[in-house]
Structure 1
Amino acid sequence: MSTITPRQRPLVLRYPVVSATIVVGIAGLLFWMIGFGQAVPWLFSVFALLVAAVEAWQMVQQLRMGIFGIDVLAVIAIVATVAVGEYIASLIIVLMVAGGKALEDFAQGRAQRELSALLSREPQIAHRQTPGSDRIDDIAASAVAIGDLILVRSGEVVPVDGELVSASGAFDESSLTGESLPVTRITGDPVLSGSVNGNSAATIAATSLAADSQFQSIIALVKEASVNRAPVVRLADRYAIPFTVVSLIIGITAWVVSGDPVRFAEVLVLATPCPLVLAAPVAFMGGMSRAARNGIIVKGGGVLERLARTRTVVFDKTGTLTHGKPAIARIDVRTPFTEAEALTLAASAEQFSSHVLASSIVDAAKERGLILRDVTSSTESAAQGVSAVVGTNTVDVGTLAFIEAASPGVKQATIVGGELAIYLAIDGSFAGSIIATDPVRESARDTINRLRQLGVTDVVMLTGDAQATADYVAGEVGITQVLANCLPADKVRAVKALPQRPVLMVGDGVNDSPVLASADIGIAMGARGATAASESADAVILVDDIAVVVRAVQIGRDTVRIALQSIWLGISLSVVLMIIASFGFIPATVGAGIQEVVDLATILNALRAIRPKEQSVTRQPSHVPAVGVAATTE
Structure 2
Amino acid sequence: MIRTIRRYPVITASTAVLTTVLVLAAMGATSAPRWLATGYVGVFIVWTLVGMVRDVLRGHVGLDILAVVAMIATLAVGEYLASLIVVLMLSGGEALEDFAGRRARRDLTALLDRSPRIAHVVRSDSADSDEVEDRAVDDVAIGDVLLVRPSEIVPVDGLLLTSSGTFDESSLTGESMPVSREAGGEVLSGAINGTRAVRIRATRLSADSQYQQIVALVQGAQDSRAPVVRLADRFAIPFTAIALVLAGTGWALSGDPTRFAEVLVLATPCPLLIAAPVAFLGGLSRAAKTGVIMKSGAVIEQLAGVRSVAFDKTGTLTEGRPDLVEVRPAEGFTADEVLLLAASAEQYSSHVLAEGIRRAALDRGLQLLATDDASEVATNGVEAVLNGRRVVVGKPAYIAALAPETHPAILGPGEAAAYVAIDGRFAGVLVLADDPRAESSRVVAWLRMNGVERITMLTGDAHPTATSIALQVGIEEVHADLLPPEKVYLAAQLHPRPVMMVGDGVNDAPVLAAADIGVAMGAKGATAAGDAADVVILVDSLAKIVDAVSIGRHTLRVALTAIWIGIGLSIGLMIVAMTGTIPAVAGALTQELVDLATIVYALRALGGPPSGLPAPAPPGAQAHVAASQGA
| Worse-matched range after superposition: 335-344 or 171-180 | 335-344
The answer on 1:59 being equivalent to 2:52 is yes
Question: Which secondary structure state, in structure 1, belongs to the residue aligned with residue 456 of structure 2?
Answer: strand
- State the 1:365 CA deviation: 1.2
Q: Quick check: 321-330 or 70-79, which moved more? A: 70-79
Point out the more displaced range, 49-58 or 91-100: 49-58
Residue 389 of structure 1 and its aligned partner are, at CA, apart by 0.8
**Farther off after superposition, 405-414 or 519-528:** 405-414
Which residue of the partner structure matches residue 629 of structure 2?
none
Tell whether 2:83 aligns with 1:90: yes
- Alignment partners' CA distance in 1, 2:427 and 2:622: 27
What is the aligned partner in structure 2 of residue 357 from structure 1?
A: 353
Counterpart of 2:407? Answer: 411
Please say if residues 232 and 305 of structure 1, whose CA atoms lie closer than 8 Å, have aligned partners that are also in contact.
no
Query: What corresponds to 1:123 in structure 2?
Result: 116
* Structure 2 match to 1:445: 441
1:149 aligns with 2:145: yes
The correspondence of residues 362-401 of structure 1 with structure 2, limited to 5 A, is 362-401=358-397
The answer as to whether partners of 1:313 and 1:505 remain within 8 angstroms in 2 is yes
Alignment of 1:269-308 (within 5 A): 269-308=265-304
The alignment-based identity, stated in percent, is: 53
Who is 2:102 aligned against? Answer: 109
Deviation by residue 1:390-422 (Cα, 9 ceiling, x = unmatched): 121111111211211122322322322122221
| Shift, 1:242, TM fit | 2.7
Deviations 1:326-352 (A, max 9, x none): 111121223432222221111110012
SS in 2 for 1:577: helix
Q: 1:438, 1:626 within 8 Å by CA — same for their partners in 2? A: no
Matches of 1:174 and 1:583, distance apart in 2? 57
Q: In structure 2, do the counterparts of structure 1 residues 626 and 203 end up closer, same or farther at CA, with 3 Å as the change threshold?
A: farther
Letter in 2 for 1:252: G
User: Is the contact made by 1:233 and 1:281 (CA closer than 8 Å) also made in structure 2?
Assistant: no
What is the correspondence of 1:115-514 to structure 2 with a 5 Å cutoff? Answer: 115-129=108-122, 130-132=124-126, 133-231=129-227, 233-514=229-510
2:155–2:206: 8 Å Cα contact kept in structure 1? yes
Contact 1:376/1:390 (<8 A) preserved = no
Contact kept, 8 Å, 1:290 with 1:612, in 2: the verdict is no
Residues 265 and 185 (structure 1), Cα distance of their counterparts in 2 relative to 1, 3 Å cut:
same
Unaligned runs of 5+ in 1: 1-7, 630-634
Structure 2 residue aligned with 1:15: 8
Q: Distance in 1 between matches of 2:590 and 2:56?
A: 29
Give the letter for the 2:96 counterpart.
L
Is residue 2:63 matched to residue 1:70? yes
Q: Which amino acid aligns with 1:499?
A: H
Cα distance in 2 between the residues matched to 1:616 and 1:355:
34
Asked if 2 retains the 8 angstrom alpha-carbon contact of 1:250 and 1:578, the reply is yes
Aligned amino acid, residue 125 of structure 2: P
CA–CA distance in 1 between the matches of 2:115 and 2:139? 15
Deviations along 1:61-82, one digit per CA (max 9) or x if unpaired, are 3333332231122122122212
Q: Which range is displaced more, 229-238 or 583-592?
A: 229-238
SS state at 2:373 partner: strand
Contact 1:349/1:395 (<8 A) preserved: yes
Map of 1:556 onto structure 2 = 552
Which consecutive residues of structure 2, in runs of 5 or more, have no partner in the other structure? Answer: 627-631
Q: What is the aligned-residue RMSD (CA, Å)?
A: 2.3
After TM superposition, give the deviation of residue 238 of structure 1 in Å. 4.3
Q: In structure 2, how many angstroms separate the alpha carbons of the residues matched to 1:309 and 1:250? A: 34
3-state SS of paired residue (1:69)? coil
The offset of 1:157, in angstroms, is: 1.5
Residues 158-216 of structure 1 show CA distances to partners (whole Å, capped at 9, x for unaligned) of 11111111111111111111111111111111111121111111111111111111122
3-state SS in 1 of match to 2:121: strand
Deviates most, 561-570 or 201-210: 561-570
Contact 1:294 1:616 in 2 (8 A): no
**1:10–1:231 CA distance, 2 compared to 1 (3 A):** closer
**1:29, CA displacement in angstroms?**
4.2
How far apart are the structure 1 equivalents of 2:415 and 2:64?
A: 64
Whole-Å Cα distance in 2 between the matches of residues 38 and 451 of structure 1? 67
Partners of 1:232 and 1:47 in 2: how far apart?
Answer: 29
1:572-611 superposed matches below 5 A: 572-611=568-607
Q: CA deviation at 1:382?
A: 2.2
Q: Distance in 2 between matches of 1:446 and 1:313?
A: 14
Change (3 A) 1:320 1:31: same
Q: Secondary structure at the match of 1:376?
A: coil
Q: Deviations over 1:561-607 (max 9, x none)?
A: 11112222212221221122112121111111111111111111111
- SS of the residue 1:147 aligns to: coil
Task: Give aligned pairs, total.
Answer: 616
- Distance 1:616-1:253 versus aligned 2 partners, 3 A rule: closer
Measure how far apart 1:9 and its partner are.
6.2
Q: Which secondary structure does the structure 2 equivalent of 1:485 belong to?
A: coil
1:344-390 Cα distance to aligned partner (Å, 9 max, x none) = 11111001211111011111111122111112311212222111111
